[in-house]
Amino acid sequence: MPRYEYRVLNPTPAAEKTFLAWIDQLDREFINRDPEHRSKVVRNALHELYLGRPYMTPDPSTPLAEQALLHSFDPRNATLEPETYGDLDVTKYNERKPLIWFWMMYDRSPVGLNHWLGHRMRAMLARHVFKHCGQIVFAPGTDEGRLMEAALDAGAEDIVNHDDGSIEVVTAPHDLVAVKSALGKAGFKPEFAEVTMKPMSEVVVNGDDAARMQKLLDALEALDDVQNVYTTAVVEEA
């Protein structure tokens, strides 16, 4: 069966300029991680996206359904399932919740079906949900003290101890090769090393949710056009 390349499609120049300017504006606003700031940015953007006008405080004289809609644009008035989990890191999640709410509401909006815009919008949001970094993992039993000293001296950003006893060294993407080389010279051999996207906060899923999530991840990884799959979910084994 012949394999055809995807066609390159673009919006009109005026639309492309507007799309990119909007994404860039949101990107700059989301650099501020304060949940209150991000929530207001998302509230205002969704108000404009759905209603085509700047945000205004809901008028008590308007129909209750309209007031409910306006209040729901604000992430602070939305409740998402992960927030109910007792082991959630609330501080970390609250930083990302406005982004997740915007992502969900954007996908359901009239412009959510626009692939050209959507691909770029979601890529921008992902940069604020995931951290682009180097990852060097060592097997259980590795001397943690010696590894930490050598890694920090080599320029690593962080050391993470996992429940299975393995140790992860986190670096800036451009420092991965240098840190790995320095650790190798110090006598440490990693299980693997790669540049990856690590979630800035994670959500544990278990039971039926875990099974469905794993099925989705397996399906995505099986697609020929998918190179890597990243998720904020930690799938617990049954």
Coil, strand, or helix at residue 193?
strand
> What whole-number distance in Å separates Cα of residue 132 and Cα of residue 149?
23
> Running DSSP on this structure, what letter comes out for residue 11?
-
Question: Tens digit of pLDDT per residue, the chain (238 long)?
Answer: 677 777 888 999 999 999 999 999 999 999 999 999 999 999 999 999 999 999 999 999 999 999 999 999 999 999 988 888 777 788 888 999 999 999 999 999 999 999 999 999 999 999 898 888 999 999 999 999 999 999 999 999 999 998 889 999 999 999 999 999 999 999 999 999 999 888 877 777 778 878 888 888 888 888 887 788 888 777 777 6
Q: Which pTM does this prediction carry? A: 0.74
* Bridge partners (DSSP) listed for residue 168: 137, 160
Shortest CA distance to 173 belongs to which of 196, 148, 155?
A: 196
Dihedral of CA 237/98/219/209: which sign? positive
CA 143, CA 192: separation in Å to the nearest integer?
17
Domains of the chain: 13-113 (no CATH), 131-198 (3.30.70.980), 203-235 (no CATH)
